[in-house]
Amino acid sequence: MKLVHLSDTHVGRGDNAARLQALLDDISTLGDPADHLIIHTGDLGDSGSPQTMQQSRALLDGMVDKGWRILLSPGNHDCGDAWHVDPQCAALFQDHFSSYLFGRAPKQYPVLTLTADCALIGLDSNAAEMSWWERWAAEGYLGQVQIAALGMLLDRAEVRQRKRIVYLHHHPFLDAFAVRADVGDRNYLSHLLGWNTRRFRRLKDAYSLMQTVRDRVDVLLFGHQHLGLDYSAEGQRYGIPLALDGSSSTGTQMDTDRMRYRIIDTRLGTYATRSVAFPV
Ligand SMILES: [Fe+2]
Ligand SMILES: [Fe+2]
């Protein structure tokens, strides 16, 4: 099985709808959809507005019509915006993207999808961010109930005998570096804001998550920080061979403006990164 990892496409901002379409067109050329599974780790849209949801859903539906399977985890932008999540938005998003978030599984997190050789587990890192004082800043929180349920899922025989893939939106590792503003970059204010608010975009219960998944997961996929780095060295501290930040696949807010996605071979435990030019 090959996993195609996309993240943070932020449809609704700039030309990201056309960019996502170009990425999906490229994915269509990879081969037999039956050998692949697309995982989108959230911030599919830039906001939780009904128009954005319709626009991004139409793009995903186009792939499903061609036989591709897509799994999705909700991002903070899908459930509100960069600064807060909104319970109404989250409910609307869950409704609108139910088939991508849950497939045929019950409508609750963690979501388990089994294929012949993989057990894929989706988490909602906005789930416990709904109380008014927790809602501010784009932090993520899984909550004890969800983490306990994840622990129980990982114990199940049908999960243990497969490759185990956990996917969520928020970044489970500590702050990473980013290119700082320099003399040639005039976006001083946005860099200043981005850099200094990075600590407020963390997954608050990352420690509990990593204690639960240690030595029990083969691939950990996430997004949110738009850095696109390979965190396997961090993951391996917890016995997780592959830990990958999906970046912003459409190139949103990246100093390199580089569209890309990853193709992960779950059998070999290897991956390749594919760059896509835009405009094509
Ligand atoms: Fe994002
Ligand atoms: Fe995000």
CA–CA distances in Å: residue 59 to residues 9, 40, 45, 189: 11, 13, 11, 33
pLDDT-derived band at 174 (thresholds 50, 70, 90) equals confident
Dig out the tokens for 240 from the structure.
Answer: 């997780």
* Cα(72) to centroid(ligand 1), Å: 14
Percentage of the residues of the chain whose pLDDT score is greater than 90:
73
pLDDT-derived band at 56 (thresholds 50, 70, 90) equals very high
**Phi, psi (rounded to 5 degrees) for 36:** -125, 155
- Ranges of beta strands (E only) in 174-258 are 219-222, 242-245
pLDDT-derived band at 87 (thresholds 50, 70, 90) equals confident
| Nearest-ligand number for the alpha carbon of 10 | 1
* Cα(253) to centroid(ligand 1), Å: 9
Poorest-pLDDT segment among 18-32, 57-71, 120-134, 136-150: 120-134
4: pLDDT strictly greater than 70: yes
Amino acid symbol at 67: G
* Cα(248) to centroid(ligand 1), Å: 7
- Give the DSSP H or E segment for 189: helix 188-196
- Per-residue pLDDT at 133: 60
82: pLDDT strictly greater than 90: no
- Per-residue pLDDT at 265: 98
* Cα(161) to centroid(ligand 2), Å: 32
Pairing of strands 219-222, 259-265: unpaired
Poorest-pLDDT segment among 35-49, 73-87, 168-182, 218-232: 168-182
In sequence order, what are the residues at sequence separation of 6 or more whose Cβ sits closer than 8 angstroms to the Cβ of residue 108? none
Q: Delineate the domains of the chain, giving CATH numbers in brackets.
A: 2-276 (3.60.21.10)
* Cα(136) to centroid(ligand 1), Å: 16
* Cα(170) to centroid(ligand 2), Å: 7
- Per-residue pLDDT at 84: 78
- Per-residue pLDDT at 200: 67
User: Per-residue b/e over 3-40, b at no fewer than 16 CB within 10 Å?
Assistant: bbbbbbbbbbbeebbebbbbbbebbeebeebeebbbbb
Task: Single out the residue of 266, 257, 178 nearest to residue 221, CA to CA.
Answer: 266
Q: Torsion angle, CA of 244/247/249/251, rounded to 10 degrees? A: -160
Residues 119-124, mean pLDDT to the nearest whole number: 98
* Cα(225) to centroid(ligand 1), Å: 6
CA 9 to chain centre: 10
| Nearest-ligand number for the alpha carbon of 73 | 2
Pairing of strands 118-122, 163-167: parallel
> Cis link prior to 279 (omega < 30° from 0)?
yes
* 24: three-class secondary structure by DSSP: helix
137: pLDDT strictly greater than 90: no
- Per-residue pLDDT at 131: 63
Residues 37-46, mean pLDDT to the nearest whole number: 97
As a whole number, the mean pLDDT across the chain is: 90
- Distance between the two ends of the chain, CA-based, in angstroms? 28
pTM of the model: 0.93
* Cα(62) to centroid(ligand 1), Å: 22
Poorest-pLDDT segment among 12-21, 47-56, 196-205, 230-239: 196-205
Dig out the tokens for 43 from the structure.
Answer: 């911030």
- Per-residue pLDDT at 204: 87
121: pLDDT strictly greater than 90: yes
| Nearest-ligand number for the alpha carbon of 12 | 1
pLDDT-derived band at 98 (thresholds 50, 70, 90) equals very high
